[in-house]
Amino acid sequence: MALNPFKYCSGLRVLGYFMILLVAAIIAVSYYAVVVLIWGPQLLHGGLRSVLSISIVTTFHLLLILLTWSYLMVVFQDPGSVPENWRPVMQEENMETSSMALSGYVDPESRNSTASPSEGGRQAVGYCSRCQNSKPPRCHHCSVCQRCVLKMDHHCVWVVNCVGAQNYKFFLLFLLYTFLETTLDTLVLLPHFIKFFGDAKSRSTSPGNLALTFLAFVINLAFALSLICFLIMHASLLSSNTTTIEVNEKKKAVRWKYDLGWKKNFEQVFGTKKVFWFFPLFSKEDLEKITALHGLDFPTRSDVEA
């Protein structure tokens, strides 16, 4: 019997639960250093110092709320899995679905299982031998989750979940708000980090508080520098409507069939309602109209064969 090394990948899920605890610990250390230890006490000083403290503490809490909200959505939101016994609808059924769309009504089951001709025609459908099921376009099998994931981008150990069609926006917001939070923490802790060396010699501050300030600064600086690289990478992928897995496939193509222009590419992930762009939510209208958010159908370029 052939050895299947991928079956051991499921053990990474155990590591993921420790990563969640690590995220909570980093937040706790940063909160204590920024709010409790340094800027919180200065709220009572009055004057410009107090105004600056209010601004920093308020911004810190706002970013923390958005960061935590986005993180929990990535962790608990299913990225999208293939419906059991899913199959692509045949051309005749596609024509029927198209005629219903023109009349203003599309049956939800038909919409979720076809690639509408008006959105680029039929698209390639694969088959997963491990799931024993058909695979919609852009769907890939995750060896960690042991299932096929719709529009899979990657499996993220930090969130113990795959990043796919239905939670990619939440993942991007998590990256963005974590970068902004860690950058803010780095900037407001920098003067105290510099002061750390003087306080360490004079012993004017307790060793425990000095260590926490130093640790919080180093951790936040490291995360801010690493996250900016991830943000740039995913911004590039978002602008071309490409997943991390599809990068090599895109390089081989003359024209990437899912690239509809940066504006439509952005809307395929974030929706069309601007008021929802900065929150890990989708409007009901976007969920009904943008089939890519469900992960089964994707519009393609008209000048590229699907």
Cα–Cα distance for residue pair 157/144, rounded to 1 Å: 10
Told to judge if 131 belongs to the known catalytic residues of this protein, a careful annotator would answer no
Q: For residues 22-61, b (16+ Cβ closer than 10 Å) or e, as one string?
A: ebeebbebbbbbbbebbbbeebeeeeeeeeebeebbeebe
Catalytic residue among 131, 156, 162, 229: 156
What is the DSSP annotation of 243-254? -STTHHHHHH-S
Cα–Cα distance for residue pair 170/280, rounded to 1 Å: 5
Cα–Cα distance for residue pair 121/95, rounded to 1 Å: 10
Q: Centre a 10 Å sphere on the Cβ of residue 21 and count the other Cβ atoms it contains.
A: 9
- Reading phi first (left if > 0) and then psi (alpha if -120 to 50, else beta), residue 157 is in alpha
Q: Could you give the residue numbers annotated as active site?
A: 156
